[in-house]
A and B are shown apart, each in its own frame.
Chain A
Amino acid sequence: MASYLEILDDDQGHELSLFCVPKHYEEDLDSVIIPNGLIKDRTERLARDIVRDMGGHHIVALCVLKGGYKFFADLMDYIKALNQNSDKSVPLTVDFIRLKSYSNDQSTNCVKVIGGDELSALAGKDIVETGRTMETLLSLLNECNPKMVKVASLLVKRTPRSSGYRPDYIGFEVPDKFLVGYALDYNEYFRDLSHICILSDRAKEKYKV
């Protein structure tokens, strides 16, 4: 069972004024729920756990864009640091995929996988989205006969809609609130915010498409 840092449902977060937040977002956020520094510290630990479990074999790190890119970059940095400073290290290569979702006329949601070099089996394949995107992605990955596949997720949301799937490595378990920042966006905004914050109702309207 993966351990995780639990952010409680009633956690109000910290006052914005206690942290450095871009001026252009000051009116749009209610509070800072996970400061960037805490994200980095937790990620540092995840990197250590991952290297401990997967060490010895070549690791292909697959980043699911766009929301995953900051977590991916920071996680890779910590894994690299561990590699550099230990007697044994493993080669690490990276790849990126994008999951683009669209609905067809039968109103079933489909998710298309875009990108990935060695994952030629996956590119262009449609995945039927039944709320089990990760599990489906994993079964597709297994067609490439990897030695081992693990999933690291920075955040897992506590929501009744969850399929029950738990990643192998979890940063934080968060409440079912609207969170932005650290590459989590709201209509492409807030990716440039380094802390994870709670979006204000006002901002939901302001940045609505």
Chain B
Amino acid sequence: MTDRLVGCVQKEEGLVIPDDWPGYNLELFNYPEHYRGDIESVLIPHGVIMNRIECLARDILEEIGHHTLMVLCVLKGGYKFCSDLVDSIKSQSRSTNRQLTTRVEFIRLKSYLNDRSTEDLHIIGPEDLSIFKGKNVLIVEAIVDTGKTMKALLQHVKMFQPKAVKVAGLLVKRIPKGSETLPDYVGFVIPNRFVVGYALDYNEYFRDLNHICVISETGKQKYKV
């Protein structure tokens, strides 16, 4: 078992899901009827997401959950993860008698592809994040693959002179030109497949699905733009 030295915390890699894992059969779970046939398999059941979030919340609370915690939620995909994570942080903080104030701000990132197919990230959200000055900030993102978003956000937030900035990513994708830096708090490390559910969409669909799933060919065609 991992040795935990007092005051020194080992950075967890997150729950690793191997490339060759096919996922669970959808028929073993409850899911909205309107998605029948649109899903290949369940990669991460909702309950397991919640269990993992509880663990991340515990670590976050221990490391940066003092006085005030500023949470920056990356919309739209991050909304469920952020909501459940903050709930868990608050609930655990209540039972430790600690006085913790959490405040959530929302930010949206739009990427523009020009003809040279370079991506510029356009940040839409509160212009003035000076409330972050001198505080602990937690950036909450649903999925990290290239790491570009994470990098851009970190740069943006650091301009406002926070005390500390940490990143929580529910999913980290294993891709060839993957992010060099990992989030500080990682839920799951997943294969390079297109996943939907738990607020992650395919053309705005599947956000209303509780489990994180792999979309089927039928689904891709059906909800194509």
A201 sits at the interface (CB 8 A) = no
Interface residues of B in 57-87 (CB under 8 A from A): 58
8 Å CB contact of B29 from A19, A20, A45: A45
> A37 to B51, Cβ gap below 8 A?
yes
Contacts A45-B30, A48-B30 hold; do A5 and B24 have CB atoms under 8 A apart?
yes
Residues on the A chain within 8 Å of B12, using CB: 17-18
Interface residues of A in 9-31 (CB under 8 A from B): 14-20, 26-27
Interface residues of A in 31-73 (CB under 8 A from B): 35-42, 44-45, 48
Interface residues of B in 126-176 (CB under 8 A from A): none
A42 to B2, CA, bound (A): 30
> A3 to B27, Cβ gap below 8 A?
yes
**B25 to A: closest C-beta gap in Å:** 8
B15 sits at the interface (CB 8 A) = yes
B5 sits at the interface (CB 8 A) = no
> A41 to B15, Cβ gap below 8 A?
no
**A185 to B: closest C-beta gap in Å:** 21
Interface residues of B in 171-225 (CB under 8 A from A): 211
Residues on the A chain within 8 Å of B14, using CB: 18
A112 sits at the interface (CB 8 A) = no
28 contacts between A and B (CB under 8 A): A3-B25, A3-B28, A5-B24, A15-B2, A18-B12, A18-B14, A18-B15, A18-B55, A19-B52, A19-B54, A20-B51, A20-B58, A26-B1, A35-B47, A35-B51, A36-B47, A36-B51, A37-B47, A37-B49, A38-B45, A38-B48, A40-B47, A41-B29, A41-B45, A41-B211, A42-B28, A44-B29, A45-B29
Residues on the B chain within 8 Å of A14, using CB: 15
Which residues of A does B touch, CB under 8 Å?
3-5, 14-20, 26-27, 35-42, 44-45, 48, 195
Interface residues of B in 11-57 (CB under 8 A from A): 12, 14-15, 24-25, 27-30, 45-52, 54-55
**B196 to A: closest C-beta gap in Å:** 17
Contacts A37-B45, A37-B46 hold; do A19 and B30 have CB atoms under 8 A apart?
no
Which residues of B does A touch, CB under 8 Å?
1-2, 12, 14-15, 24-25, 27-30, 45-52, 54-55, 58, 211
Given A37-B47, A41-B211, A195-B51; 20 other pairs, CB 8 A cutoff: A3-B28, A5-B24, A18-B55, A19-B51, A19-B55, A20-B54, A26-B1, A27-B1, A35-B47, A36-B51, A37-B46, A38-B47, A38-B48, A39-B47, A41-B30, A41-B45, A41-B48, A42-B45, A44-B30, A45-B29
Which of B1, B14, B27 is most buried by chain A, counting CB atoms within 10 A of its CB? B1
Which of A18, A27, A45 is most buried by chain B, counting CB atoms within 10 A of its CB? A18
Residues on the B chain within 8 Å of A195, using CB: 51
> A35 to B28, Cβ gap below 8 A?
no
**B169 to A: closest C-beta gap in Å:** 15
A44 to B52, CA, bound (A): 19
Residues on the A chain within 8 Å of B52, using CB: 18-19
Residues on the A chain within 8 Å of B28, using CB: 3-5, 42, 45
A27 to B3, CA, bound (A): 11
A40 to B29, CA, bound (A): 10
User: Which residue of B is nearest A194, CB measured?
Assistant: B51
A199 to B211, CA, bound (A): 29
